[in-house]
Structure 1
């Protein structure tokens, strides 16, 4: 009898536990899918699992590809759950433009994931919101322009740096080499000269370490383990990549602080060398006038400089390296570029003004940006208020992924979206044409603030290198063997490869 009672009690306890689990699952599913009639309809999306969300439905090495595939099933506005948060994904040119441009205020906040909170602490430009973001962006834009961004001053800096980069390529005497370091150092020197007021030698260990760590941070922050960290922040100390990122951040802050300290010691208000000098003057003025709440303090200086250094190096150098790789893979396109350069420029030093007379070269650069798709999900946005959008209701504070790859590869906007085709940017007469769906720099309030500088750099660096070198695969490697599969990272870099830079006569 006692045994029977024990069995009944066990069955009863098990049944109660199962009932509780089922009740939890029902409540969970209701909570993630319900919205009041007054609010409106929730975007569709795959059903998430408790605790894991939609983790098992995503390729953590290529999350953008998973999201792109999901957009084909669920439409241009859909949701996924990156535990514990719901993310609304916007796909296609029309939808992304409607959100970022036409409803810029509603979709204009920055969603700051745990790893980017670690990196910024709410300061700087890229990963801040509110007054801090507005003030730092306004200051950076104003001073980048003052110190030459997009103007003749920048052009002179780029043309000077091109000579150093050509010298680095010459050292290999036509032998195969990895373009990563010399291209990264050259591009980084442009933003360095604007921010710090001077360029660095490629042999300067402090400079090379800063650039190499910046690129490593970009790679690691887009890794699968950091996606897990953003979903389960308590895992941080157990993740090798997180520990390495935190170590790099500590070193970055130390190095930037030392450079700032050196500039502070030689600061002359009558002769400002770069953005750091300008910030130090604003900081000094605020301190002297007793502005206790001034945003011009040391942390904003360090993180703003760090933001500009990384953003001003990675995207442009990555795009340039894609361009050189594509020229080696498609020699018939390289032929046309060099033929146009030879006819229009000859052997003289080209300038930005030459762009309008080099339509095919310009089209190749734009097509490189389009196909390379180096920031496929953009940097996450966040809604600043409750939003009714395309028939759906999106709550204030919802994380938004504008899927830029779905714009750059939109089958309704591009004739051959998955093929390297410069004709996308040419009319039937061979003249360059702008395309509305060309949004590699994003759009709206959070668009890249260095777009004009990046466009100038890409044109001058790419065209000058093609003017002086022919790029080919290494001996024994065919064009077909050159792999265009991107490496895993926050931005999509070419996988490690080598090219030959053959000097043109």
Structure 2
């Protein structure tokens, strides 16, 4: 599945998203669920090779379980106790209920679609999804190497990772960006001006336009930095090592504090301010700050990084091109920029009016 195919899937889902937004005719709406549905459908189209109708029972169930696992997460501090809590006769901190929803994604989505993909491959059908591609490579690897780590369990884990990396974090970043633009209308005006000059209005923005939309790219990067949606990344130590005089034993779970890098005053100067210009030089060219690490670093970085970047660019560029974001009550207070912590840092729910640019 090349980048062009991924971009087409994202663009297709955005068109449906825009139709849903247009139905509100500029009336205030909370888009949190709608953004989640659209981004989840992109992941589904990649993983199983098809998208689902918004009212499809299995898709609705998947979304409910995904929403619960993210919004009701026990938090990193309690995650190590999940296995222990399962043995208790009572539901400690709601860990059992939370784990039931996690396992439901496996039993009601991942396992059935893996089974279906195996049956399709046995019939000689073409590779049409991530699952079928994985299974085919797994077969080839196992024929050559019996100790290959490609297996059904790791496939299930990878599907879970793709949903985690490509659904909640991306949709939350989009949700944040819209809110921040409500507080900084001059920023969305600058993005719209750039799109008008570089792309126009006769077609949608594509990934080929990205090199020419540098200010938009800077806005997306600054949103990732400012919000630090995934502030902590857990990692398991495979071999004991020493660091700064401390012994870190094998099998220790450590948490990488990504927030500290994204909000280091020594690097960013004024990290508490939302300022996309920090990613542009005097000539308007993008500055690649190595401290911008929303996806982590190295071979253990987020497996969905490339996909997430494409989703963010296509969705945000198309939204800026088609709509102006305006507050629910133009004469009232703006929704607050306050962070809620679960598995991701998300803003409080808010409503926004999407004003069609063509009618302005």
Provide TM-score, normalisation by structure 1. Answer: 0.65
2:325 aligned with 1:490, yes or no? no
The answer to whether 1:460 aligns with 2:332 is no
Residue in 2 that maps onto 1:469: 323
Q: Which range is displaced more, 271-280 or 301-310?
A: 301-310
Bigger drift between 440-449 and 217-226 goes to: 217-226
How many Å apart are 1:358 and its aligned residue? Answer: 1.3
**Aligned CA distance change for structure 1 residues 172 and 381 (closer, same or farther; 3 Å):** same
1:142-153 superposed matches below 5 A: 147-148=1-2, 151-153=3-5
User: C-alpha deviations, 1:341-384, integer Å up to 9, x for none?
Assistant: 11111112211121111111111110000001011122x22333
| Counterpart pick for 1:451 among 290, 301, 305 | 305
Q: Distance in 2 between matches of 1:190 and 1:171?
A: 21
Question: Paired residue for 1:323?
Answer: 177
What is the CA–CA distance in structure 2 between the aligned matches of 1:284 and 1:500, rounded to whole Å? 50
Counterpart contact for 2:74–2:342, Cα < 8 Å:
yes
Residue of structure 2 in register with 1:242 after alignment = 95
Q: Does the aligned pair in 1 maintain the 2:165–2:308 contact within 8 Å?
A: no
SS at match of 1:237: coil
Unaligned runs of 5+ in 2: none
**Corresponding residue for residue 66 of structure 2:** 214
How do 1:356-435 residues align onto structure 2 when only pairs under 5 Å count?
356-378=211-233, 380-435=234-289
With normalisation by structure 2, the TM-score equals 0.89
Shift of 1:221: 2.2
Q: Does the aligned pair in 1 maintain the 2:265–2:271 contact within 8 Å? A: yes
- TM-fit CA distance, 1:241: 2.3
Q: 1:293 to 1:400 in 2, by over 3 A?
A: closer
> Could you say which residue in structure 1 is the equivalent of 2:130?
275
- Cα distance in structure 2, aligned partners of 1:485 and 1:493: 8
Do 1:236 and 1:243's aligned partners in 2 also have CA atoms closer than 8 Å?
no
**Counterpart of 1:374 in 2: which secondary structure?**
coil
Contact 1:225–1:239 (CA<8 Å) still a contact in 2?
no
Q: Does 1:162 align with 2:17?
A: no
RMSD: 2.6
Q: Does residue 45 of structure 2 align to residue 189 of structure 1?
A: no
Preserved CA contact (<8 Å) 1:269 1:281: no
Distance in structure 1 (CA, Å) of the matches to 2:249 and 2:345: 31
Residue 276 of structure 1, CA deviation: 1.2
- Distance in 2 of aligned mates of 1:189 and 1:339: 30
Instruction: Find 1:203's aligned residue among 55, 60, 63.
Output: 55
> 1: distance between equivalents of 2:350 and 2:175?
10
Change over 3 Å in CA distance of 1:276–1:402 after alignment to 2: same
**1:245 Cα offset (Å):** 1.4
Assess if the C-alpha contact under 8 Å between 2:73 and 2:342 holds in 1: yes
Contact 1:236 1:242 survives alignment (8 Å): no
Structure 2 vs 1, CA of residues 387 and 225 (structure 1 numbering), >3 Å: closer, same or farther? closer
What's the CA shift for 1:237?
A: 3.4
Instruction: Provide the C-alpha distance between the structure 1 equivalents of 2:235 and 2:77, rounded to a whole number of angstroms.
Output: 21
- Relative to structure 1, the CA distance from residue 372 to residue 235 in structure 2 (aligned partners, 3 Å threshold; closer, same or farther) is farther
Shift of 1:236: 8.1
Does the 8 Å contact 2:65/2:104 carry over to 1? no
Shift of the 176–201 alpha-carbon distance from structure 1 to 2, 3 Å rule, reads same
1:386–1:292: structure 2 CA closer, same or farther, 3 Å change rule?
closer
Indicate conservation of the 8 Å contact 1:329/1:472, yes or no.
Answer: no
Change beyond 3 A, Cα 1:238–1:455 = same
Contact kept, 8 Å, 2:241 with 2:247, in 1: the verdict is yes
Residue 481 of structure 1 deviates from its aligned partner by: 2.8
**Would you say the 8 A contact 2:82–2:99 is kept in 1?**
no
Change (3 A) 1:396 1:152: same
Give the 3-state SS of the residue equivalent to 1:433 in structure 2. coil
